[in-house]
Structure 1
């Protein structure tokens, strides 16, 4: 587990560079292609790691179900964030002022691909799987959720509440998404679509930072519990409730389908 986490953290950093805004092809289709190539290399490295370091077979990335599970996850992530944004809009926390156009389309596609692929390999493919084998399902879900939230504490605009929200809403949701299939395609797609939808479709900060130039021109006004403040809508109470409910739904499906694992 330790070797895997170190290797894929390093690979995450390397793969993010060609897709970053510092490259000359930033804002062009090449940026998205660079991210796709980095993700493909990361998946290939994971297969090699499972085979030659762990000494087992890769069951997390079977190609036969990739199209179906990626498509389902992308749609699920898009609809989930759109539903949550709709609730915030009904409560007066976000206003739509017009359509910008393409904006930073290629950069947001690249962000979704790279963050979705490598963060799910790290937190679900490496940490969750190994903690579950040692300590059981519930301990693995709790530990990886806490670590996932803590991993966002140094993001721009982060607060203790934003990290708590990420731990609960995303930790449960993505952990359960992995448990439903015991594969990584589905959680990767949900993660990527969630980031892409909030950043490009609704022009909302993705886990802190500046608001991206996305498809829709939006402004957020109101208390931080509703808008999420500088961190973005992920830190709103609405996101905490909606995404956690979706995570519990997936968790119940996972328990019914495949059950849980006891400690070793």
Structure 2
């Protein structure tokens, strides 16, 4: 049995693990592994959507627990970004706005005669998307906004963290089936700004989780759309969609359309303006240090 670390060494190690680069690396690796586990679960229980959702919920709980444990034991702080205060309100608003944003895009396509409803399926068709929407929203927000954005923000400030996290988030979608560079860049702008702005405004992850979950679920479970280049699944609405790729998003889905780019980016900019007005923008660490030294 190895001897326990001396207090001084333990303090040095904890400090190192709490630095932004180590935090991003360690939490990022953990959540990437868990996202792989999510994929395995959804593949294994593809014909059993209720079991798939139950397993994904368990993995989501484990993901939250790991994130909170890292904050508590390594960073020695309260996990305010996952605080229960405001959880219901912010998650609820996120869900409603996420549904609304995607529905606006589809209504515009309907008005143009591009998206046509041909019938309705049984409500059971809405079940398979539950696991997908939970997995993508929880783990991608813990990874890209919780681990990446918030770590970079503490180090480089809000604006640099927003740009870097948005680009990383968008470009990782190049690994999806039928991915395109255009689709990845659209996601970087529309979703990267919107989701980071939600965290900047509220200082919590619940609003961004709600946006993410509702968009993906509405897209797949209700409108039977393509989610970020993945193979489309039949949802509640049977439909056809024919039109130019710049309006439909082509094989990547509506995220790669000018409609989503306009609607989601505009919403993100509104949230950013609110965050600025409420003094929620964090400057880079060197500016904070200079300000502290000047006031001392």
TM-score of the superposed pair, with normalisation by structure 1: 0.94
Distance in 2 separating the partners of 1:63 and 1:41? 17
Residue of 31, 36, 40 corresponding to 1:13: 36
Distance in 1 separating the partners of 2:140 and 2:239? 28
Residue of 102, 124, 128 corresponding to 1:107: 128
Residue of 99, 102, 113 corresponding to 1:92: 113
Say whether the 8 Å CA contact 2:121–2:237 is kept in structure 1.
Answer: yes
- Name stretches of at least 5 consecutive residues in structure 1 with no aligned partner: none
Distance in 2 separating the partners of 1:79 and 1:210? 23
Once the two structures are superposed, residues 127-155 of structure 1 have per-residue CA deviations (whole angstroms, 9 ceiling, x without a partner) of 10111111111100000110011010121
Say whether the 8 Å CA contact 1:51–1:57 is kept in structure 2.
Answer: yes
Task: Tell me the secondary structure at the aligned position of residue 78 of structure 2.
Answer: coil
User: Per-residue deviation at 1:118?
Assistant: 0.4
Compute the RMSD of aligned alpha carbons.
Answer: 1.5
Corresponding residue for residue 52 of structure 1: 73
Residue of 247, 261, 264 corresponding to 2:282: 261
Q: How does 1:1-264 map to 2 (within 5 A)?
A: 1-18=24-41, 20-23=42-45, 26-264=47-285
Distance in 2 separating the partners of 1:232 and 1:51? 39
Distance 1:216 1:52, change over 3 A: same
Say whether the 8 Å CA contact 1:169–1:244 is kept in structure 2.
Answer: yes
- Name stretches of at least 5 consecutive residues in structure 2 with no aligned partner: 1-23, 286-296
Structure with the bigger percentage of helix: 2
Say whether the 8 Å CA contact 1:70–1:185 is kept in structure 2.
Answer: yes
Say whether the 8 Å CA contact 1:103–1:213 is kept in structure 2.
Answer: no
Q: Quick one: higher RCO (CA 8 Å, sep 6+), 1 or 2?
A: 1
Task: Tell me the secondary structure at the aligned position of residue 82 of structure 2.
Answer: coil
Task: Tell me the secondary structure at the aligned position of residue 178 of structure 2.
Answer: coil
Distance 1:16 1:69, change over 3 A: farther
User: Per-residue deviation at 1:27?
Assistant: 3.4
Question: How many residue pairs get matched?
Answer: 262
User: Per-residue deviation at 1:233?
Assistant: 0.8
Say whether the 8 Å CA contact 2:129–2:217 is kept in structure 1.
Answer: yes
Task: Tell me the secondary structure at the aligned position of residue 240 of structure 2.
Answer: strand
Distance in 2 separating the partners of 1:41 and 1:104? 28
Say whether the 8 Å CA contact 1:73–1:186 is kept in structure 2.
Answer: yes
User: Per-residue deviation at 1:221?
Assistant: 0.4
Distance in 1 separating the partners of 2:52 and 2:29? 26
Distance in 1 separating the partners of 2:125 and 2:231? 13
User: Per-residue deviation at 1:13?
Assistant: 2.0
TM-score of the superposed pair, with normalisation by structure 2: 0.85
